[in-house]
Structure 1
Amino acid sequence: MYRVWNFLTNYSLLLILGALIALIWANTDPSSYHHFVDFVIWDNAPVGHLHDGHRTLTLHYLVNDLLMAFFFAIAAKEVWEAVILSNGSLRGKKAATPLFATLGGMLGPITVYLGLALIMGSDTYSAVANGWAIPTATDIAFSYIVGRIVFGAGHPAVRFLLLLAIADDAAGLIILAVFYPSGDLAPQWLLLSLGAAITVYMLANWLPRKLDRGNQTRPTSTWVRKRLNFWPYLLAASASWYGFMQSGLHPALGLLPIVPTIPHADRAFGIFAEAEQYLTDLLNQIEHALKHPVEVILFFFGLLNAGVEFSFIGDATWLVLAGLLIGKPLGIFVFGWLAAVPMRLGIPEGMRIIDLVVIGCVAAIGFTVSLFVASVAFDAGPVQDAAKMGALFSFAAAVVSIAVGKLLRVEKTTN
């Protein structure tokens, strides 16, 4: 439990603090708040928002498009290990039902969001349709901690929830890349990202191991690790990020091609496992080195994105909430049941089918990624602000989860 609270404190409380400051600031002095968000750091810069043939680097762009790339790199690291390692949590039959439930946890919110928007009229639908992905997100840290409160630390549903949240993150990264480009697409620039990934893998990972083959002292790999450390990967990451920016894909995803090229451990203990901090492979060391910088980045992300005036609460707010609070539990239950019963993939021993409803309620806490998607799905204005408010209000899912858990008589398991 210490590891979970430590993670929550490190990554999430600063984010909440930034969001609270933003809400207070935007509702007391909106003019100065928006001036702060749009503060121009460098006009005619080599990176930044493209406008009238030149780029402008603003504070908002620096945080959302450049620095948040490190946050998504950490998320990608957890997904990569869950998929590639032999004991990865998203491998084998144990992951089948959670993966199906994840699919339901995305299709359910999309259906509810777009369905209700259609019922509200063509004008509303046209205004909010592009935000369909906002309620598909699940905040891993907050969902995990609420799951432990509802089910108890030792309940198999908590592990199920974590598998679902990791898979949800993976799907969310794909959705951001495919459906929310940051500009006109120029896919040829992705060759720069691909080339950077292949080059750094061959020169800093594959070649040293090949030269050390048959020599247990591994002199070349040791020299590369001690002398060069993470620098080749940082250089490759910079090139990859620039390729994403020029390609029109969201540059916050620009480090994703580099993550798989970094030497990693032979096994993973999980994002909240105490043993994770003792792994000495380069990938884990880079993650640990990024911990404190990412804390600060998330604070500024909350500060620059959560400043919504309460007067902007509107249709998008309720659609995002409905997608999360209705679509998530319904989709996770239906698809989880289909996988567990008709398809006979089963669920973990000690877990009931009805627990899928409670898991769906817990997974409805969107917050971080929902807030990010809202910021890229809509142009700045009332609709974006209303959608962001829905992402912030998704914290209500914690209270709903506890109530539904009691209603469905969840028996807590502490060991």
Structure 2
Amino acid sequence: MYRVWNFLANYSLLLIIGALTALFWANTNPDSYHHFVHMVLWDNAPIGHLHDGHRTLTLHYLVNDLLMALFFAIAAKEVWEAVILENGSLRGKKAATPLFATAGGMLGPITVYLGLAMILGSDTYSAVANGWAIPTATDIAFSYLVGRIVFGAGHPAVRFLLLLAIADDAAGLIILAIFYPSGDLAPIWLLLSVGAALAVFLLANWLPRKMDRGNQDRPNSTWVREKLSFWPYLIASCFSWYGFMMSGLHPALGLLPIVPTIPHADRAFGIFSEAEQHLTDLLNMIEHALKHPVEIILFFFGLLNAGVEFSSMGDATWLVLFGLLIGKPIGIFIFGWIAAVPLRLGIPQGMRLIDLVVIGCVAAIGFTVSLFVASVAFDAGPVQDAAKMGALFSFAAAIISIVVGKITRVEKHEF
């Protein structure tokens, strides 16, 4: 349990402090808060919001569009290892039912969100429809922690939940890239990102290994690792991020093409695993080096994005909240049941079908990614603020999960 609390403290404690500070500030001095959020750092800058033919770098853009790219790179690293490594958690039949459940955990919230919006009328639907992806998110750290509280550390449902959350992250990255561009699309610029990824993979990864073939001392690979370290990948990341910005795709995803090019271990012990900190490959080394910077970045992300006035609660608040609290459990249960029973893919030994409902309640904690999607789905204003409030209120899923676990008589499994 120490490792989980340690990870939560590293990646989420400052985020919560930032969010609570933002809520207090926005509800006591909203003018001061919004002036801080949109503070101009550099006018006529080479990067930033494009307006009237020139770019302006604001504090909000610096955090959400540039620095959050490091957070999404860490998420992408976990997804990449889960998919590519031989013992990756998202490979083979063992991942089939969680992947089906993940699809339900996204389609369920979308259906509830858009269905209720249609019931509220065409005006409401038009105002909130673009936020359909907000309730699809699952906050890995908080969901994993609550899952261990509800099921116990050794219950197979906890691993099922973690597989679902990782797959949810992967799908969320794809949704952000496809459905939420940051501006007019100019796909030609993606050639810069692809070119940077190919160049750094060939020159700093593939070529040294090819030159060392048959030589156990691996002199070229060692020289690249010791002398160049992460610098080639940092330079490639800058080019890739710029390519995403100019292409119109959200720049926060700009490092995703670079992550697969970085040399990685031939095994993964899984997110939150104590053993993973002892891996010395470059990809894990970079992740460990980013731990404290990302911790600070998440504080500022919470500070700059969670500052909504309580009076801003509106239709979008309840649509996001109901999408998470109702759509997630129903979608995960239905699709998980389809995979386990009609398709005969089964569920892990020691799990019951009713546990899928509890897993769905735990996965309804959206928070971090839900806040991020809300910030890109809507322009700044009352609808965005209302949607963010729904993402913040999704913490209620933790209490609901514990209650539902008691009702369904979940038997805790400790190690």
Range of TM-score over shorter length: over 0.9
Distance 1:35 1:29 in 2: 10
The residue that corresponds to 2:75 in the other structure is 75
Distance 1:320 1:85 in 2: 35
SS in 1 for 2:263: coil
The residue that corresponds to 2:205 in the other structure is 205
Matched, 1:130 2:130: yes
After TM superposition, give the deviation of residue 5 of structure 1 in Å: 0.6
Distance 2:327 2:176 in 1: 20
Distance 1:61 1:292 in 2: 20
The residue that corresponds to 1:412 in the other structure is 412
Q: Which amino acid aligns with 2:26?
A: A
Q: Which amino acid aligns with 1:409?
A: R
The residue that corresponds to 2:277 in the other structure is 277
Q: Which amino acid aligns with 1:41?
A: L
SS in 1 for 2:290: helix
Alignment of 1:4-403 (within 5 A): 4-403=4-403
Q: Which amino acid aligns with 1:105?
A: G
Deviations 1:264-298 (A, max 9, x none): 00000011100000000000000000000000000
Distance 1:3 1:277 in 2: 11
Distance 2:356 2:270 in 1: 22
After TM superposition, give the deviation of residue 380 of structure 1 in Å: 0.1
Deviations 1:168-218 (A, max 9, x none): 000000000000000000000000000000000000000000000000000
Q: Which amino acid aligns with 1:319?
A: L
Q: Which amino acid aligns with 1:412?
A: K
Q: Aligned residues, how many?
A: 415
Deviations 1:79-121 (A, max 9, x none): 0000000000000000000000000000000000000000000
Distance 1:291 1:334 in 2: 37
SS in 2 for 1:265: coil
Distance 1:130 1:411 in 2: 40
After TM superposition, give the deviation of residue 225 of structure 1 in Å: 0.2
Distance 2:145 2:324 in 1: 18
Q: Which amino acid aligns with 1:376?
A: V
SS in 1 for 2:41: strand
Q: Which amino acid aligns with 1:159?
A: R
SS in 2 for 1:55: strand
Deviations 1:116-154 (A, max 9, x none): 000000000000000000000000000000000000000
Distance 1:271 1:69 in 2: 19
SS in 2 for 1:50: strand
SS in 2 for 1:255: coil
Q: Which amino acid aligns with 2:76?
A: A
SS in 1 for 2:19: helix
Distance 1:359 1:19 in 2: 26
Distance 1:140 1:276 in 2: 17
Q: Which amino acid aligns with 1:321?
A: L
Deviations 1:45-101 (A, max 9, x none): 000000000000000000000000000000000000000000000000000000000
Q: Identify unmatched segments of 5+ residues in structure 2.
A: none
Distance 2:402 2:354 in 1: 14
SS in 1 for 2:13: helix
After TM superposition, give the deviation of residue 2 of structure 1 in Å: 1.1
Q: Which amino acid aligns with 1:365?
A: I
Backbone CA RMSD of aligned residues: 0.2
After TM superposition, give the deviation of residue 35 of structure 1 in Å: 0.2
Distance 1:242 1:3 in 2: 36
Structure 1: 4+ residue segments shifted above 3 A: none
Deviations 1:314-371 (A, max 9, x none): 0000000000000000000000000000000000000000000000000000000000
With normalisation by structure 2, the TM-score equals: 1.00
SS in 2 for 1:56: strand
Q: Which amino acid aligns with 2:395?
A: F
Distance 2:3 2:41 in 1: 38
Q: Which amino acid aligns with 1:106?
A: M
Distance 1:82 1:262 in 2: 15
Distance 1:315 1:391 in 2: 13
Distance 1:156 1:111 in 2: 29
Q: Percent of aligned positions with the same letter in both sequences?
A: 87
